């Protein structure tokens, strides 16, 4: 465990590269820094060779676990104090990663669920725009269920259309129509009763912005960026006991959180 105040960030990226670039760009923009040296030490392993998550989870392709484990270990060996991963669906392999490393792993799933719960008081229904593998694996449904929140998802035809849009984004197609169609899909979830829309795919924020959605929009990438800064700089000089860096591999917890952990 590192004794330094500011932690080095390790990023499992390349899932896909554009989403990783979006994450890092936002991380730079949101970090309070006036000089190069005041920015975070970030180590990015953009491993685009990780197998297709959708194919792997549908049994049509190889497991992603070996590549993700190798990527995570490389980041730890390079000096990362904790890891984040810029992909929601790949969190199916979260436990594989956790057991392979000796540093904390910050879950985009947990952070995004917590943000939704904080954004809307007494939240009952959340609309989840996520990749098919993510939804079929119940990554978000299981967490929201524990909080008594129902997950609303697209019907099969709309979900297939969503995946087509995601792959268009991955192929660098940012045509105006892609954003419009993504807004329409979000609206369908709102029409079902969603009180908040969760962009549970890191490609979505590349085309969907809050001004195009008639409900609060939580982008998982944005949540991960803010959480990364918080964990990398867990305290200010006058709040030295606010957060404790734990060896539970689950991340950083406030003293109050640890008391209930």
Q: Has 87 been annotated as catalytic?
A: yes
Of 82, 11, 22, 96, nearest to 47 by C-alpha is 11
d(CA 53, CA 228): 23
Q: Has 134 been annotated as catalytic?
A: no
To the nearest 10 degrees (0 to 180), the angle between helices 17-30 and 220-232 is: 50
> SS3 sequence, the chain?
CCCCCCCCEEEEECCCHHHHHHHHHHHHHHCCCCCHHHCCCEEEEECCCCCCHHHHHCCCCCCCHHHHHHHHHHHHHHCCCEEEECCCHHHHHHHHHHHHCCCCEECHHHHHHHHHHHHCCCCCEEEEEECHHHHHCCHHHHHHHHCCCEEECCCHHHHHHHHHHHHHHHCCCCCHHHHHHHHHHHHHHHHHCCCEEEEECCCHHHCCCHHHCCCCEEEHHHHHHHHHHHHHCCCCCCCCCCEEECCCCCCEEEHHHHHCC
Active-site option among 64, 116, 134, 201: 201
- Whole-Å CA distances, 69 to 21, 94, 124, 129: 21, 10, 36, 27
Active-site option among 64, 87, 116, 134: 87
Question: Which residues belong to the active site?
Answer: 87, 201
């Amino acid at each position: 465990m590192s004794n330094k105040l500011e932690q080095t960030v390790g990023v499992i990226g390349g899932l896909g590269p554009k989403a990783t670039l979006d994450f890092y760009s936002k991380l730079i923009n949101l970090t309070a820094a006036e000089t190069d040296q005041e920015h975070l030490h970030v180590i990015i392993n953009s491993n685009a060779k990780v197998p297709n998550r959708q194919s792997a989870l549908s049994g049509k392709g190889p497991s992603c676990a070996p590549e993700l484990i190798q990527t995570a270990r490389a980041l730890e060996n390079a000096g990362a104090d904790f890891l984040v991963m810029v992909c929601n669906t790949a969190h199916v392999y979260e436990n594989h990663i956790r057991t392979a490393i000796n540093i904390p792993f910050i879950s985009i799933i947990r952070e995004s669920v917590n943000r939704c719960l904080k954004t809307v008081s007494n939240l009952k229904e959340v609309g989840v725009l996520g990749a098919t593998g993510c939804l079929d694996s119940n990554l978000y449904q299981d967490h929201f269920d524990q909080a008594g929140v129902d997950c609303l998802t697209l019907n099969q035809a709309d979900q297939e259309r969503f995946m087509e849009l995601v792959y268009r984004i991955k192929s660098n197609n940012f045509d105006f129509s892609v954003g419009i169609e993504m807004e329409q899909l979000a609206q369908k979830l709102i029409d079902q009763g969603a009180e908040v829309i969760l962009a549970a795919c890191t490609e979505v924020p590349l085309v969907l912005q809050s001004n195009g959605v008639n409900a609060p929009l939580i982008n998982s990438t944005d949540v991960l960026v803010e959480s990364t800064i918080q964990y990398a700089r867990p305290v200010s000089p006058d709040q030295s006991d606010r957060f404790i860096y734990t060896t539970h591999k689950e991340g950083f917890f406030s003293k109050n959180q640890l008391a209930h952990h």
